[in-house]
Amino acid sequence: MLAVPIKVTNDQLTADEFNDGPMTELKNSVLSTGQTLTDSDLDQLSKSMCNYATSGTFFADTGIADAYVLNTIAPLKSITQYFGGMQITTFAQNECTGGPVTVNVNSLGIKTIKTREGFDPVQGDIVDGMPMTILYDGINFRLLNALEIPTGSLILTLNQSIASGAEILVDFDLRGVDRNSGSDIINSRFNPKVKGVYEASLNLAIDDITNAYIQGSIRLNGAAIIGSFRTFADFANEVSSAHTAVLVELNGTTDYIDFLGLHTDAGNKAIVSAETVGWIKLIKRDRI
């Protein structure tokens, strides 16, 4: 704002001081929202205030994955500093890959983006072409987007042989649903990268079980059985199923779960493809 001489009681601004000072500020506010000055509209200043309130927080992204660069969209004026509580929305041009994610707004300096809970974003938290809204907390920006709930399923596409009394790893070889679930078809497991409480479940189908048991189990980190269900079956030449589900807390780094199958009938049987599926879904995301 133009610095005008300090006035005392009953003193007045000259016409030049008024035109070069307050009026210039007002005109620039109107012009910066794309309006053309006109004598017939006495609401242009209030309209410019509305424009800034509704679209002044929308920025254009020209950065890369995990390093977003945001700039004000002309003719709106740029912010001059970061301040706590400021909120910015953009259409991200690249999906984040997970790990440290940064943003630089109007060349004011690089800041870290965290999730609402304070974690580093994981792949899929920021998606290219989708709106991204961030809130500055005085140190970092917090991602306000709706959470992408880690959810996944693993499917068996080929029948798997299973011997009598031998508990074996179900050899899943196809991802079904996969939303940040850490599904791993090489090792037939889920290793999600978001810390929290998960619901894990297994539907195990085995063919031609006569007067015997089938059992499906869920295992944590290749050792502890955390969920298991055994059911009696007597369906020669038909498919029998066992279903089990459990809640488990996973640390978002090394913890994983996998699935086991067992039967007590004589001879080799087949774990049936398509009908044997493992699932995982985040129930409660941990906070700091």
Mean pLDDT over residues 225-232, rounded? 94
Nearest partner of 50 among 63, 35, 61, 37, judged by Cα: 35
Alpha helices in the chain (DSSP H): 15-20, 22-31, 44-55
For residue 118, what is the DSSP state? S
Q: What is the mean pLDDT of residues 252-256?
A: 92
pLDDT of residue 8: 56
Mean confidence (pLDDT) of the chain: 86
Read off the pLDDT band of 11 (50, 70, 90).
Answer: low
Least confident of 29-43, 122-136, 262-276: 29-43
- Stretch 246-265: mean pLDDT, rounded? 94
**How much is the average pLDDT of 18-34?**
70
Q: Which CATH class is domain 151-285?
A: mainly beta
| Tens digits of residue pLDDT in 136-149 | 999 999 998 756 57
- Per-residue DSSP letter, 160: E
pLDDT average, residue stretch 236-240: 89
What mean pLDDT is predicted for residues 59-75? 92
Cα torsion through 35, 38, 40, 44, rounded to 10: 40
pLDDT at 120: 84
Q: What backbone torsions phi and psi does residue 27 show, to the nearest 5 degrees?
A: -65, -40
Q: Which of 261, 229, 39, 88 is nearest to 159 (CA)?
A: 261
- Does the bond joining 75 to the residue before it have cis omega, within 30 degrees of 0? yes
Per the model's pLDDT, the better-predicted residue between 8 and 174 turns out to be 174
Give me the phi and psi of 55, to 5 degrees please.
-125, 0
Assign 288 a pLDDT band (cuts: 50, 70, 90): very low
The residue assigned the tokens 């709930």 is 149
Confidence (pLDDT) at 48: 65
Give the start-to-end residue ranges of the domains of the chain.
Answer: 59-143, 151-285
Is the per-residue pLDDT at 52 higher than 50?
yes
122 φ/ψ angles, rounded to the nearest 5 degrees: -105, 165
pLDDT of amino acid 253: 86
pLDDT tens readout for residues 168-206: 999 999 998 887 788 999 999 999 878 889 999 999 999
> pLDDT > 90: what percent of the chain?
55
Is residue 4 predicted with pLDDT exceeding 60?
Answer: no
pLDDT band at 105 (very low <50, low <70, confident <90, very high): very high
- How far apart CA 27 and CA 108 sit, in angstroms, is 27
- Partners of 227 in the β-ladder: 218
pLDDT over threshold 60, residue 284: yes
pLDDT at residue 34, rounded to an integer: 74
Higher pLDDT, 111 or 39: 111
pLDDT at 75: 79
What pLDDT is attached to residue 224?
A: 94
Q: What is the pLDDT of residues 69-94, one digit of tens each?
A: 999 888 777 788 999 999 999 999 99
CA–CA gap between residue 97 and residue 134 (Å, rounded)? 17
Average pLDDT, integer, range 211-230? 95
Which pLDDT value is given to residue 250?
A: 93
Could you tell me if 56 and 106 are in contact, meaning their C-beta atoms sit under 8 angstroms apart?
A: no
